[in-house]
Amino acid sequence: MAATPPTLPPSAPKRMGAPGIPARWTSSAKSGVGAALSTASRVWFTLSHGIVNEVYYPGLDSACTRDMGLLVTGLGGWFSEEKRDATHAIEPFEEGVPAYRLVNATARYRIEKRILADPARPALLQEISFTALEGVATDYRVYALLAPHLVNAGMGNTAWIGEHKGKPMLFASGHGACLALASSLPWGDCSAGYAGFSDGWQQLSRAGRLDPTCQSAEDGNVALTGEIGFSLANSEALLALGFGATPDEAAENAAASLKRGFEPAAKAYVAKWRKWQAGLTPLDHHDASGLNTYRVSTAVLATHLSLARPGAAVASLSIPWGASKGDDDLGGYHLVWPRDLVETAGGLLAAGDPAQALEILAYLRSIQQPDGHWPQNVWLDGSLYWPGIQMDECAFPLLLADALHRAGHLPRAKLAAFMPMVEKAASYVVRNGPVTGQDRWEEDAGYSPFTLAVEISALLGAADLFDVDGKPEPANYLREVADCWNDQIERWTYVSGTPACHEAGVDGYYIRIAPADGSGAASPKDGFVPIKNRPPGDTDKPAEAIVSPDALALVRFGLRAADDPRIVGTVKIIDAQLRCDLPQGPLWYRYTSDGYGEHADGAPFDGNGPGPPWPLRAGESAHYELAAGNKDKAASLLRTFEASAGVGGLLPEQVWDGADIPERELWLGRPSGSAMPLVWAHSEHIKLLRSLRDGAVFDMPPQGVKRYVRDKTGSPLRIWRFNNRLRTLEAGKTLRVELLQPALIRWSGDQWQTSHEINTSVNVFGVHMADLPVTDIPRGNTIVFTFFWPDGDRWENVDFTVGIEN
C-alpha cells in the first residue's frame, strides 16, 4: 500500500460516521512546551495531562494536531485512556531544556515517556515504555491515538493506513500539509475513522478491538489509531511523527528520525539549549519546590520564537478554553501581537540576549503598515488577523528601539537602518493619538492611562533617536506633543470627589479609561464605558466607576513618581476594589466588572463571564513596589507570581478565584482554562528578576523620569484635533490646531466681532498645524474658529469653540 490514500467506496463515509463530530481544540492548560533550536526542525510541541497536545508545523502559527495519547485495553473488555485515568508527572531533561520525561500511572500500568523535537528534521519523537503493575504485560494492548488538525483545522482532513518503502505507517493530510506516524516496533491492528463515531477510542471502548475495515476516512474530523507492538521481550517503543508537504515527505522524515534514534537526537537537542542558556545573564531563581523558574521562563520565550521568520514570536502555544472551541477559532493565541512581541524582546534583553531583541525589532519593521501603524495581530508572514488598532501597539516598537539604543545595541551606524520605521511610527502616533481605538485589553476606545503612558514615553524615546540621527526639529516637535499630552493625563483620566473616593478616604484616582468624545476632549465624568464580555443589561458603566491597575503604567514608564499622592490614592482604590487574596498571596483583577473568564460555575468563557485575576498583575505590582522603594514587598509578590504557575512552572493568563470544582479541573488559586503559558507573563517574570537584582525597574524609560518627575516640565500648549477636540483651555496657554491636510484657519476671540486668519504649515510628520496667539484672551471668553480647505476649495461651515477657563 502506498502513501497515497485509497479511495473509499461511496457507501463507506456514511457507515463510518462521516464527517465526524464538530472539531474541537484541546486543553489550554499546558504542562510543557518545546522546540528544537534548529531551522531544520520546524516543529513545536505542547503537552498536558501526560500526552502531546498541539504540534505545530511548519510554523508557530500552524497547529497540525489536536492531541496524541495512548489507550490501553485488557482482559474482559477493560479499557483505559492515560490522559483521563492516570496520574501525571512531568519534568524537564534538565534546567532550561524543554525536553520532557512524563510518567502516567494507574493501579494497573505505568507509562514512561521522553519527548522532544528532532533537531535535524520536522519530526516529533516519543520514546515510550509500558510496565504492567497488575497482571502481566501480555494481559494488555497499548494503542497510539492521534487526532490530526492540520493547519489549524479539525475538519477537512483525510486519514489512512498506508506504507512507506514497505513499512506500515499512519497518515493524514489536509489544507496543504501532511503527517505520518511511524513506530520502531511493528504496528499491530490499525484504523482510521471519524471522531466520535468510528475512531479508535470508540472502537476499543465499545468492542475492545479495532475494526480492520476502517482503513481510511476522507474529508472530516478524523483520527488515527495503531497498536504498538509491545511484548515480553520489548516493552519500549519509539514513535516518530513526521511532517511534510506530501505524504511521502512526511513519511521520509518520520522514517529518518526512527533510523537515527532517540539518543542522538536528544544529544543534539540538549546541546543547543545548553549553549543558548549558558549565554544568558545568570538570574537563576528557584521557587519553593526547587524549580529554576528563571530557566523555565527563558525556555518559554525561546520556544515561542520562529526560527524560519527571525524575530517573530507568538503570544502562546495555546487556545484559551480550547476544548470548547471549534475550527472557527483559527488562531487562538498562536499569533503575533506587536505588544506581546515587544514584551518578549524586553524579557530577552533582561536575560542578556540583545541579538534576539534586535531580530524582533527587525521583524516589527517588516510588518509595519505603510502608514506607520502595527496591526492588532498578524500571522507569522505579516498578514492581518484581527483588524483593530491599539495605539500602545503602535508606540511600543519605538520604546524597544530606544531601549536597544540606550543599552548600546543600536548605535548610530545600525540605527540608520531603523530610522524610516521610527519616523513612520512616530508620525502615526502623533497624527492619531492620544485617543486609542482599543485599549491594551483589546476592548474599549478612549483615553487609557496605560496607552497614554506608552505613547508619551515612546515619543520621548523617538525624539532622542531623531537627535542621534541629526534631526533636531522633529525631535523638538515630538517632545512638544509629549509634554502637552502628559500635562493632560489628569484632565482625561483622573477623578475626585466620587463615592469611591469617600469610601476609600482618598482625594481622587485614575480611572481605567475615559470614553472618546467626538464633540470635545473627554471628561472622565462624562458618558459611559461599554464593558465587553458582560451579559445584556450589565454592560455600560460610568467611566468614574471603573478602575484598573493599568494606572500603575504611569509609574512604570516614568511619567509619575511612585509616591505621587494621585498614584498612592489610586493604589488604595485598586486594592479596595480589585485585590483578590488567594492561597499564594494577592493578585488583582484587570478592571472593575471585567467579563473575560469562566462563568461562576466553572463553565468555559463563551463571550461573557466574570473575569478572574491575572498573575501578570503580580509582576506589574511588584515593579510598582520596587519603584516605591519597597523591595521586600516586590520580592514577596515575586513569590506569589511564581506560585501561581501550573505544572512545570508555566505561568497562566488567569487563575481561578472560586471554590474548587474538580470535575472542571478548577482549584482556588490555580490556573484556569485560559492561555498557558502566557509569554507576556514569563517576560514580566524575567524582567522582575532582573529588576530585583539591579534594585531598579529594568525597563523604565529614563526620559520621562527626568522630564516630568524631576524637572517638572510642563507645556505652554494645548492641542486641538478632530480626534481630540478641546472644550476648554487654561488661561495663558497657546492653542495649537493640528490637522491632517492644509487649511486656512479663521478664528475669533470675541464672538466674531473681529477675526483673524492664519495658514497651517506642515512638518516632517505630515501634521498641518498653526499656533493661535490666544494667551491674552481674558478668562471666560470663548475662542471660535473654522477652516477653509484649499485642496477642496470649500469652507468647513461649522464653528468650533474652546472656552478660556475661569
What pLDDT score was predicted for residue 11?
45
Q: What would you report as the CA-atom Rg of the chain, rounded to the nearest whole angstrom?
A: 29
The predicted model scores a pTM of 0.96
Phi, psi of 761 (to 5 degrees): -125, 150
Q: Which residues contact 646 (CB under 8 A, 6 or more apart)?
A: 29, 30, 31, 652, 670, 671, 676
* Residue-wise DSSP of 139-157: G-EEEEEEEE-TTT-SSSE
Q: What angle do CA 66, 67, 69 make, to 5 degrees?
A: 160
CA dist 217 and 224 (Å) reads 9
Within the chain, how many helices (H) and strands (E) appear?
Answer: 21, 33
CB count in 10 Å sphere of residue 342: 29
> Rounded to an integer, what is the distance from CA 377 to the centroid of its chain?
10
Q: Which residues contact 196 (CB under 8 A, 6 or more apart)?
A: 17, 20, 21, 202, 221
Neighbouring CB atoms inside 10 A of 431's CB total 18
Phi, psi (deg, nearest 5) at residue 424: -65, -40
CB atoms within 10 A of CB 221: 30
Question: Which residues of the chain have a pLDDT value below 70?
Answer: 1-2, 4-15, 328, 517-527
> Are the C-beta atoms of residues 66 and 49 closer than 8 Å to each other?
no
User: Alpha-carbon distance 196 to 107, whole Å?
Assistant: 28
Q: Are 656 and 667 in contact (CB under 8 A)?
A: yes
User: Vertex 16, ends 13 and 17: CA angle to 5°?
Assistant: 85
Phi then psi for residue 117, to 5 deg, are -90, 140
Phi, psi of 452 (to 5 degrees): -60, -45
Length of the chain in terms of residues written? 806
Distance, in Å, from the CA atom of 400 to the CA atom of 411, rounded to the nearest integer, reads 14
Calpha distance 338→669 (Å, rounded):
29
What are the phi and psi torsion angles at 193 (to 5°)? -145, -175
Residue 225 CB contacts under 8 Å (≥ 6 apart), including other chains: 71, 143, 144, 145, 146, 170, 190, 191, 192, 193, 199, 200, 201, 203, 204, 210
CA distances from 764 to 56, 112, 372, 541 (A): 44, 64, 14, 41
Q: How far is 673 from 598, CA to CA, in rounded Å? A: 8
Work out the end-to-end distance of the chain between its first and last CA atoms, rounded to an integer number of angstroms.
Answer: 89
C-alpha cell at 627: 519603584
554 SS3 class: helix
Task: Indicate the Cα dihedral angle 716, 719, 725, 727, nearest 10°.
Answer: 10
In the three-class reduction of DSSP (H, G, I as helix; E, B as strand; rest coil), residue 247 is classed as helix
Name residue 362's amino acid.
A
Judge if the upstream peptide bond of residue 58 is cis by omega within 30 degrees of 0.
yes
Q: What is the DSSP string of 252-270?
A: HHHHHHHHH-HHHHHHHHH
Asked if 109 contacts 132 with a C-beta cutoff of 8 angstroms, the reply is yes
**In terms of Cα–Cα distance, which of 210, 243, 219 is closest to 7?**
219
Integer Cα distance of 457 and 701 in angstroms: 7
Helix (H) / strand (E) element for 124: namely: strand 123-132
Spatial contact of 474 and 460, defined as CB atoms under 8 Å apart: no
